[in-house]
Amino acid sequence: MAVLIASALRKELSGTPLFDGVSFTIERRQRLALSGQNGAGKTTLMRVIAGETDYQGGDLAFEKSCRVALHDQRPPRDRSLTLRDYVLSGASDLVQLEQELATLETRMAAGDHEPATMRRWSEAHARLEHAGGYNWRDRADQVLRGLGFTDAELARTLDTFSGGELTRASLARALSSDPDLLLLDEPTNHLDMESLEWLEKEITTIDAAVILVAHDRWFLESVTTAVLELERGKGTYFPGTWDTWRKEKAARASAMSKLSERQAADLARLQNFVDRFRYGTKARQAQSKLKQMDRIQRVRVQAPGASGRTLGFEFLDPPRSARVVLEVLGLELKAGDKELFKNVDFAIERGEHVALVGQNGAGKTTLIETLVGNREQVAGKIRTGHDVKTAYFSQHEVELDERGTVLDACVSGTGLKRPQAQSLLGKFLFSGADAHEKPVKALSGGERRRLSLAIIVASGANFLVLDEPTNHLDVESREALEEALESFPGTVLLISHDRALLDAVATRTLAVEGKNLRSYDGGWADVIAKRAEELILPPAPAKKAGAGAAAVAEKARPPKRKGKSDLDKIEVEIAAAEEKLVAVEAQLAADWSNADLIAAHKRQRDDLAKLMERWEALFAEAQEEAGA
């Protein structure tokens, strides 16, 4: 059954259509991704569906009693609430439901067994069970932990959290409300790798219809079951995964491009005929050609990409540096009283593209700011190789010179002459005198990001240090940056939560583990594969004598024969399996949300059960032989 049917939706801004004729259907457990350039109306469409803004045409038909939850980038209004109270406030209907059930049960205990009372109790009870029963508040706590919050933070008021933390709190509130229709606008913002992977698993298992907007390609490919593309005010629905849709779109764009070129060639040929013979002996044929041109014009296909612009990336070929670009020995770092890194050693060689990954707050930005000389280390040495020219792209664009205009910042940051700087700025969507003369202080976050990227691209540096370069970039711009970094012959050190970018660009990955760094060959997929191989943990300390199935078996078994029997061998395997199970359970106790650990725990229990069945059969055989 459809949770939502949208028919011919029309939305106007100041009388001008933003989109018109948008139609789609979404069912429970389907996940629809909205695609389109910035300004196409994706966020507005979500707010239309959520009832937060009106629309000028079409119809929205919801499933009966449909509960809608919206998460977007707007911060919570009431900052005096605690984190836990704010998240629970998204499920106020569940509180009312508990109160209603209590009232109904009191009436039923007093003898009210009317069909209407029993039916309403059944409906309310089913609704509460769907939300997790009377333990639905614990479910909210689990969501908060999955998104990176600690138990100690649940009682803190919202005014003590950062903007990124408030965005995560809003996401937790939407997920905890047990919606039938979940609307997510950029849900991956401000999440580290562990929280991203937790969110992917959560969304793919949630019993709701989901509509989402995201720029994280790995995330989209993991969760999407359908795509609605908003382009030129129209909506195109595609039933299939994000990856399949991208291939279909590319094939469609290629076919449209060829058709557009053919139509242009036909129009040019017909126009040439008309120009030559309009007033001559072939005037009647020329008139016929004009009608033919009119027919082509009415069905003229616009070449793909003609309606929008994307960023242009093309790194300059950098000068050659020394073989060892960066060497770090015995590095120790602190943030206030918190120790971040201790006794860290690593080196980066010429031409390497190295990704730096780790949880939020692990110290990644502090580390690279120390490497580029913006912070002081507690101890250790940092050596930069000969002829290394470093360009640093910070997460907050602090390297921008804010004393002048956009053009001034570009000229001073790149050394280009004004005409070349103006051309470069045009590739990064700063076109015309107004854009070039705009003060840097007046730029928006997205504009500052684009200006910083323009300066980095033209810097001529042979060592790029990039902290979250894809923030505020759409999918097409991220792919353009990815392609440019892949082909960059110099050295790269990159922090990003864009796993598709990390996987495509990185030749090696440094992962923050504890207070040190561990090096993995390859990109993000290689890190995942390596960690999966190591999921079976080392044995836990041996149990005391008399504990466990193996000890019980030892007491009950008949006298051993000389040599190692099958029963001896199976008992050794049981002891080892028990130790592995204990080790996995210990890790689960520390990280309840890790789906890989949950799966490993199930496998370990199944393996132990099979071994016990085998032991029982062998034990019975041994007893029969002893009796004989």
Q: Is 243 helix (H, G, I), strand (E, B) or coil?
A: helix
SS (H, E, C) 184-220: EECCCCCCCHHHHHHHHHHHHHCCCEEEEECCCHHHH
Residue 8 · residue 23 · CB < 8 Å: yes
Beta carbons of 332 and 380 less than 8 angstroms apart: yes
Q: If you average pLDDT over every residue of the chain, what do you get?
A: 83
Write the DSSP string, 578-617: HHHHHHHHHHHHH-TT-HHHHHHHHHHHHHHHHHHHHHHH
pLDDT at 552 over 80: no
β-strand 2-13 against 16-27: which pairing, if any? antiparallel
- The stretch 434-443 carries a mean pLDDT of 88
Higher pLDDT, 459 or 340: 340
| pLDDT tens digit sequence for 184-214 | 999 998 888 889 999 999 999 998 999 999 9
User: Residue 462 pLDDT > 90, yes or no?
Assistant: yes
260 Cβ contact list (under 8 Å, min separation 6): 300, 301, 302, 303
The secondary structure of 369-433, three-state, reads: HHHCCCCCCCEEEEEECCCCCEEEECCCCCCCCCCCEHHHHHHHHHCCCHHHHHHHHHHCCCCHH
**Tens of pLDDT along 365-384?**
999 999 999 999 999 999 99
- For residue 131, the model assigns a pLDDT of 66
According to the model, what pLDDT value does residue 268 have? Answer: 87
CA dist., res. 319 & res. 163, Å (int): 40
How much is the pTM? 0.69
Give the lowest-confidence range in 273-282, 484-493, 586-595: 586-595
- What pLDDT was estimated at residue 25? 95
The pLDDT score that the predictor gives to residue 380 is 94
Question: Average pLDDT of 296-311?
Answer: 66
Q: Which residue has the higher pLDDT, 79 or 466?
A: 466
Strand partners, 82: 157
If one compares 556 and 177, the residue with the highest pLDDT of the two is 177
Out of 323-337, 450-464, 567-581, give the one with best mean pLDDT.
323-337
Q: Tell me the average pLDDT across 266-272.
A: 85
| pLDDT given at position 554 | 47
* Size of the chain, expressed as the number of residues it contains: 628
Per-residue pLDDT at 103 exceeds 70: yes
